[in-house]
């Protein structure tokens, strides 16, 4: 019998607060959450098959982060994914322009 993984999204408050300021991302974020919560990815390669626009980067402390393009190319959602624990930790969400300023 196979295992059923339930993905937990942590720090959803970041998404909720950001959506209050940027109502245009409510549906795209809801779609992203639905896919994440109802999927089981064991590594970035599996995730990338579903989210082909996702990128994996290392931050300054060498933690791998995943960046999703939300609403086309308008917003960046940055998360830390624990694939073995099936936990997605929301780090931040920002506009593409805000993201470009820090890169």
Res 4 pLDDT > 60:
no
Q: What was the pLDDT predicted at 82? A: 92
In this prediction, residues 5-25 reach a mean pLDDT of: 88
Residue 103: Cβ within 10 Å count? 6
Residue 31 belongs to a domain with what CATH number? 3.30.2310.20
Res 83 pLDDT > 70:
yes
Burial class (CB in 10 A: 0-12, 13-18, 19+), 18: buried
Query: If pLDDT is split at 50, 70 and 90, which confidence band does 103 have?
Result: low
Model pTM score = 0.86
- For Cα atoms 48, 67, 61, give the angle at the middle one, nearest 5 degrees: 115
Residue 34 belongs to a domain:
yes
Residue 3 belongs to a domain:
no
Sole residue written with tokens 């300023």: 101
Q: What was the pLDDT predicted at 64? A: 87
- Total count of domains within the chain: 1
Pairing of strands 64-70, 75-82: antiparallel
Residue 47: give the domain boundaries. Answer: 8-102
Residue 2 belongs to a domain:
no
């Amino acid at each position: 019998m196979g295992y059923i993984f339930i993905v937990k999204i942590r720090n959803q408050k970041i998404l909720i607060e950001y959506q209050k300021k940027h109502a245009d991302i409510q549906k795209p974020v809801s779609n992203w959450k639905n896919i994440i919560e109802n999927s089981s990815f064991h590594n970035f390669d599996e995730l990338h098959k579903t989210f082909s626009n996702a990128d994996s980067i290392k931050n300054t402390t060498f933690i791998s982060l995943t960046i999703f393009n939300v609403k086309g190319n308008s917003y960046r959602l940055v998360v830390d994914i624990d694939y073995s624990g099936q936990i997605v930790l929301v780090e931040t969400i920002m506009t593409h322009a805000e993201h470009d300023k820090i890169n």
